Structure formats: structure tokens, C-alpha cells
Amino acid sequence: MTSLRFVGPRKQAKPPAKRKWRLHRWQTLLAAVVAAGATIAVALITTGNSGSNPNDNNIGPSPTSSGPAALAVKISSFTEVQLKPPPGERFAFWGTVTGWTGTDDANAEIFVIAAVPHSGTWLVSPEASVQNSTTWSVSGWSIPNLPSGATWQAIVMNGEGAGPGPTESQEPGGGPCSQIAQCEYTSDLKAAGPDAVAAAAESKPVSLSELRPRSG
């Protein structure tokens, strides 16, 4: 007779346990070393950039010191007073000059000249007084018959470069020419204007309406 054996319910198989990953000590040390190296690299890059000039790529060669300014002269303003009698006007002019320190101050002179229309002749002022090597002024210039439509300009005569100079016979006492009428180049200037002399500098011709009247 066959014996019967009781078989109970089958136990279900347990799923395999998840494997726990554990970092070994040497792996922990390696990660710490890598992190420290990255931190140092970032710090070095930041320090280098903070000391650099963002405009370094735009910096050209160092500018060289410029030489003396070119000699130039300009009329800025004027006054005009009517004379009674005799008929005529008395003028004063003011202006600027650059590069005066590069001239021979002992011989350089500034005049205001005016072209007389349709005559080919010129009016020539007394010598200007130069202040601080930057400004100049002409005062007390009386013109008995002011020509209509005259144009005015300032002119610089600079020693030997100013054309024919005064001769000894025209210099009272052998000293510098103190009277304009006694200067040989002034006669040429009156007769033919700046084309007659080698002027060191001259301003463009302007009419009185283009200049600023000065009060007082």
C-alpha cells in the first residue's frame, strides 16, 4: 500500500538581495585628491583673470611725445571807435597764437593786415603785443579812410624767415626796428600783401562781420 505524505504549500523563492556597494578607503582618498586639484585649478584661473586688463588686446604702442605745436595765428575779436575829427576809425584787435615758444621771440612779430579792395594795396597795423605766448593784441590803430569791404588777417613775421629784414640804416641807433614805417619788409607788405614776404604764419582773411565785436 502506497503511503501518502502530506506536502504543504511551496515556499516562494526570495528575490536575490541587492548588493550593497561600498567604497574602499583608497577610492575615497582618490576622490578627495581629484576634488582638491579641481579647486586649486579654478583658483589659479580666477587669480590670473583678475589681474589682467580686459583692454589688453586693444592697447597699441605707447604714444610718443609730440613735438612743439605748429605756428598758427588767429583773430578773435575787435573794437572800432569813430574818430572826430579827423574822420576815420580807431581799431583794436585781439587774437590767439600757438607755437609761439618755437619762434625766435626776439625777432618774431605779429601784425594785422587788411586788403584794400580794387587797389592791390594793404593796410598794416602797429606790431601786436604778445601775452603769455598764447594771446596777442593790437591797439590804437587809426585808419583815416576805412575802405569798404576790406578783409582782415593776422600775420606772423619770424626773424630771418620773415622775408627781407630792416637794414642798419633803417634801424635808429643800430637797435631793433621800433617804427613800422622804418622796416623794409613792412613797405613790401603794404604794397603787395603777404605774397611779398615769406610769412611764418597767417590767418585766413575775414570781414569784420565775421569777427566778434568786443565790448568796452
The pLDDT tens digits for 86-137 are 789 999 999 999 998 866 666 788 999 998 888 888 999 999 999 999 999 9
pLDDT per residue as tens digits for the range 20-62: 545 566 667 777 767 777 777 666 666 655 555 555 555 555 5
Going by C-alpha positions, the residue among 79, 198, 88, 98 that lies closest to residue 139 is 79
The Cβ-side half-sphere exposure at 92, using a 13 Å CA radius, reads: 12
The dihedral through the CA atoms of 156, 162, 164, 168 has a sign that is: positive
pLDDT per residue as tens digits for the range 136-165: 999 999 998 888 888 999 999 875 443 433
The pTM assigned to this predicted structure is 0.59
The dihedral through the CA atoms of 198, 128, 216, 88 has a sign that is: negative
Residue 161 φ/ψ, nearest 5 degrees:
-75, 0
Beta strand segments in 87-132, E:
89-98, 108-115, 122-124, 129-131
CB-CB contact of 73 with 108 (8 Å): no
- Domain residue extents for the chain: 25-49, 72-213
